[in-house]
């Protein structure tokens, strides 16, 4: 596996993670669906505003974990407790997806993403 992702693989990855809609919003037939990217951005803003309250946290790492946290959902879906999927099955699906992203993005970036996801 290459340690650096090809431009084609980077674009495939970005295209994949940009598609996911919030499951709860879809089930409730919300007209103005917010994509996962908007959720992730909101999470980053909230984290950046609150990080100064915790001196023992590493800001850079927290922000990276915030970015990686929901990436697998772009493939497996935004699985909620109401979807009838066990926590173990959800975790297995998400880990398999992150391993796929790892193969797309190369060992350096993909490996770091996998490590952050597992944290």
What CATH number did the domain enclosing 46 receive? Answer: 1.10.3210.10
- 24 domain residue, yes or no: yes
Domain count within the chain: 1
- 2 domain residue, yes or no: no
Predicted pLDDT of residue 59: 83
- 51 domain residue, yes or no: yes
- 1 domain residue, yes or no: no
- What are the per-10-residue average pLDDT scores of the chain (119 residues)? 67 69 66 66 77 78 84 80 90 92 87 92
- 20 domain residue, yes or no: yes
Predicted pLDDT of residue 23: 64
Q: What is the span of the domain harbouring residue 16?
A: 7-118
Predicted pLDDT of residue 107: 86
DSSP readout, 51-111?
GGG-TTS-HHHHHHHHHHTTTTHHHH----GGG---HHHHHHHHHHHHHHHHHHHHHHHHH
- 47 domain residue, yes or no: yes
Predicted pLDDT of residue 91: 92
């Amino acid at each position: 596996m290459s340690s650096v992702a090809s431009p084609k693989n980077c674009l495939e990855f970005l295209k994949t993670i940009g598609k996911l809609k919030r499951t709860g919003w879809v089930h409730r037939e919300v007209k103005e669906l917010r994509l996962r990217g908007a959720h992730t951005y909101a999470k980053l803003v909230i984290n950046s505003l609150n990080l100064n309250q915790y001196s023992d946290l590493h800001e850079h790492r927290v922000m990276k974990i915030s970015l990686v946290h929901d990436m697998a959902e772009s493939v497996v879906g935004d699985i909620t407790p109401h979807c009838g999927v066990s926590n173990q099955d959800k975790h297995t699906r998400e880990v398999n997806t992150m391993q796929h992203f790892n193969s797309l993005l190369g060992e350096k970036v993909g490996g770091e993403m996998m490590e952050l996801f597992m944290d």
